[in-house]
Amino acid sequence: MRLHRLAIVILPVLSFLTGPGFSQQVQQGAVERPIVQSPILTIDSDRVFSESAFGLRVAAEIEAKSTELSAENRKIETDLGAEEEKLTRDRATLDPEDFRTLAERFDEKVQQIRRTQAIKTQALNDLVDQERDIFLNAAGPVLEKLMRDAGAAVILERRSVFVSANAIDITNEAITRLDGAVGSGKN
């Protein structure tokens, strides 16, 4: 009697595992993982970018450039602080007009440095956007193939879906396939 109930439970599971949604294909000695079969898939695009080899490389590069820019800003701040202290000390011995001229030059210098550093910061932000665009262009064909493999008609951003089954989330599979196809983006 117990074996009969177990067979009733196991048979549907086995038929699901051997159906079209669980096909295993051997490619170059590796077994491809099964992908859910669904007309609708979801994906967390932020995770796909940030956890992929490409996104990790971009994050490391941006972090290094950010650290460099922060160090440069600290040095500039120290240098300007010393220059301001000297100007303040010299104020007592300078003609008021000469002091005003030096103070205006110092202020112009500070404003120019701020603009220059703001441009550098914006360039870092632009670099992230450019790298993300490059990634998305490279990801398109990989995600289209994943969509076809799943028999899907659409991939929706997970955050824009109110409720869904976790089974239709392809984020991890997308990361794996993109790492294999695109890698870090640097050859």
Q: Which two tokens stand for residue 88?
A: 């303040």
Instruction: Report if pTM > 0.85.
Output: no
What share of the chain has pLDDT > 70, as a percent? Answer: 81
User: Amino acid identity of 92?
Assistant: A
Q: Is 24:149 a contact under the CB 8 Å cutoff?
A: no
On whether residue 13 sits in a domain, the answer given is no
Measured distance CA(88)–CA(106) in Å, rounded: 11
Beta strand pairing status for 154-157 and 26-27?
A: unpaired
Tens-digit pLDDT profile for residues 119-169: 999 999 999 999 999 999 999 999 999 999 999 999 999 998 888 888 889
Distance of CA 148 to the CA centre of its chain: 25
On whether residue 15 sits in a domain, the answer given is no
- Label residue 33 by pLDDT band (50, 70, 90): low
On whether residue 122 sits in a domain, the answer given is yes
pLDDT confidence of residue 13: 33
Measured distance CA(37)–CA(165) in Å, rounded: 13
On whether residue 150 sits in a domain, the answer given is yes
Measured distance CA(140)–CA(98) in Å, rounded: 63
Q: Which two tokens stand for residue 68?
A: 């460099």
pLDDT confidence of residue 32: 53
Q: Is the pLDDT of residue 12 over 60?
A: no
Adjacent-strand bridge partners of 31:
26
3-state secondary structure of 40: strand
On whether residue 26 sits in a domain, the answer given is no
On whether residue 75 sits in a domain, the answer given is yes
Q: Which two tokens stand for residue 90?
A: 């010299």
On whether residue 186 sits in a domain, the answer given is no
Measured distance CA(158)–CA(152) in Å, rounded: 15
Range of the domain at 154: 35-181
On whether residue 103 sits in a domain, the answer given is yes
Q: Is the pLDDT of residue 106 over 70?
A: yes
Alpha helices in 19-162 (DSSP H): 45-51, 53-90, 96-150
Measured distance CA(179)–CA(39) in Å, rounded: 24
Q: How many domains does the chain have?
A: 1
